[in-house]
Structure 1
Amino acid sequence: MMNGLKKRPKITPLLVCADPRVEDWPLMSSPFPQTLVILIYVYFVTMLGPRLMENRKPFDLKRPMIIYNFSIVVFSIYMIYEFLMSGWANGYSYRCDLVDYSSSPQALRMAWTCWLYYFSKFVEMLDTVFFVLRKKNSQVTFLHVYHHSIMPFTWWFGVKFAPGGLGTFHALLNCCVHVVMYTYYALSAMGPAYQKYLWWKKHMTTIQLVQFVMVTVHIGQFFFMKECPYQFPVFLYVIGLYGLIFLVLFLNFYYHAYTKGKRLPKVISCGMSFRNGVYKKAQ
């Protein structure tokens, strides 16, 4: 070697390991466009929006909210069907399901469904925008904004590197939960005449708990398998940690709100839900 120096090992860029099938899909060429969108979202819902609304009356968004919520329900049902047909009801074992990187119709269908789920996380940012425009600023908690920011950010990496396999089970479950939740939101937004159809409101927390238990158990299998060559195990650690953290948060809420019979402070109970206000009657 020249000057007695050893040649440094070549470092492989992370994006070399990316799935080439998704390269040209919207927002997938680089993480920077989505990062900009997320930063604009955080800035608007925490600073700009409240400032603009400070001396204005709350917007009457009843009709837009009804349309929006029912649209999310329909979109979630469609994604459930696609997740099932592209793997979870069509070949997956619910154990060590690997990512299929082939160009087969089923593999491409799963990858595209993952992208749709990723895109839905940006649509759901409107939850917070509605809060701001209706001057429900107490519901724009740190946990709420954090959830709506971190989900699209982390899912970009999921779609970019591992669009399929056992790392997508939590997305299927989340779509199922959203069908129930956004149906509740839509009916609640329709006014007092529809409150009689919301008798199942008290079960919303239980549904969330079941979701996180199932996610944690499903991902937890990976750590007890003798051999499971899942291509990007780091994603399973992230999903497992995320599911476990929210399981603990919801168990804590459930214990104080229902077992002990005590109501949590408004800011905490709102912060515990994905879409703050789930535990109280919509205004």
Structure 2
Amino acid sequence: MPGALETLWDHYTWVLESGDPRTDAWILVYSPLPVILLLLLYLLLVLVGPRAMSQRPPLELTGALATYNLGLVLLSGYIFYQFLTVSLLADYSYFCQPVDYSQNELSMRMARVCWWCFFSKAVELLDTVFLVLRKKQEQLTFLHVYHHGTMLLNWWAGVKYVPGGQAFFVGMLNSLVHVFMYLYYGLASLGPRARPYLWWKRHLTILQLGQFVAIAAHASYNLFAECSFPDGFNLAVLLYSLSLIVLFLNFYRQTYLRGRRKKRL
């Protein structure tokens, strides 16, 4: 057992020390333990929250939801703008872009926007808090929990080890999609009066699927191209994107195609 503990400690030390030293001092980056603790608390909320709310009336939270979603529209828009601007100023390749680990202004700016993208994933865990408080348990699906939880962990690894390079493409697409996604959620939080403006939910799902297909294709290309961005990260991005494609296709089928068939019957 002492040998096993020593090996475990050696692995943990490697995780801490092998990251990008430029980002180590940033909030939630140096050690995985705070992020893992946050994920455990998140899963506890998913398990216990609905039971705690079962004997309580649902909270409306209209104002809080509208403010929260508008805030995420603005944050996602800022992140997209930064990814796009820095990639253009630094003449990034959209096919193969290694990480620039230097201290120059543009590489640090790219690393910072990667951190903001990671931070936004921590903020987005509040999506689930609002669902629990509003007693929307039917929306606490495996897709919802898996997507929110794993995004946080994935972006932690990105900021810790590869804050830039090919990661910018993932963050740029994802933040753009989130502008539209949280705009939709913000309108939906206003209740029945906003219903005429929510006709584009299906198109939003297609947009989400499109980003995962693009990210999977991008990662696949870089697995076979001669690019110095780590293949391990490209493979992880590819497999993760494929898992989301499967889950979102199932959501699309359940939400749009099955409902249409029932109406015909």
Settle same-fold status: TM greater than 0.5. yes
Tell me what 1:69 maps to.
69
The superposition leaves residues 92-136 of structure 1 with CA deviations (integer Å, 9 ceiling, x where unpaired) of 110110100000110000111111111111100111101110111
1:79 deviates by: 0.3
Please list every run of 5 or more consecutive structure 2 residues that lacks an aligned counterpart in the other structure: 1-9, 261-265
Q: Distance in 1 between matches of 2:258 and 2:204?
A: 17
Alignment of 1:67-216 (within 5 A): 67-87=67-87, 90-216=90-216
Q: Does the 8 Å contact 1:70/1:183 carry over to 2?
A: yes
The residue aligned with 2:3 is none
Q: How far did 1:76 drift?
A: 0.3
| Counterpart residue number, 2:227 | 228
CA distance in 2, matches of 1:143, 1:200: 20
Identity %: 46
Distance 1:158 1:17 in 2: 13
Task: Output the TM-score relative to the length of structure 2.
Answer: 0.88
2:258 aligns to what? 262
Quote the Cα distance in structure 2 between the aligned partners of 1:91 and 1:53: 51
2: distance between equivalents of 1:146 and 1:14? 23
Question: Per residue, is there more helix in 1 or in 2?
Answer: 2
1:184-240 deviations in Å (ceiling 9; x for gaps): 111111122222222222212211121111111111111231x2111x321111111
Displacement of 1:175: 0.6
Q: Map 1:27-46 to 2 at 5 A.
A: 27-46=28-47
> What count of residue pairs does the alignment treat as equivalent?
250
Q: Distance in 2 between matches of 1:205 and 1:89?
A: 31
Superimposed CA distance per residue, residues 55-114 of structure 1 (whole angstroms, 9 cap, x where no aligned partner): 111111111001111110000000001111222564111011010000011000011111
Higher alpha-carbon deviation: 20-29 or 83-92: 83-92
Amino acid at match of 2:35: Q
Cα distance between partner residues in 2 of 1:60 and 1:256: 27
Structure 1: runs of 5+ lacking an equivalent: 1-9, 265-283
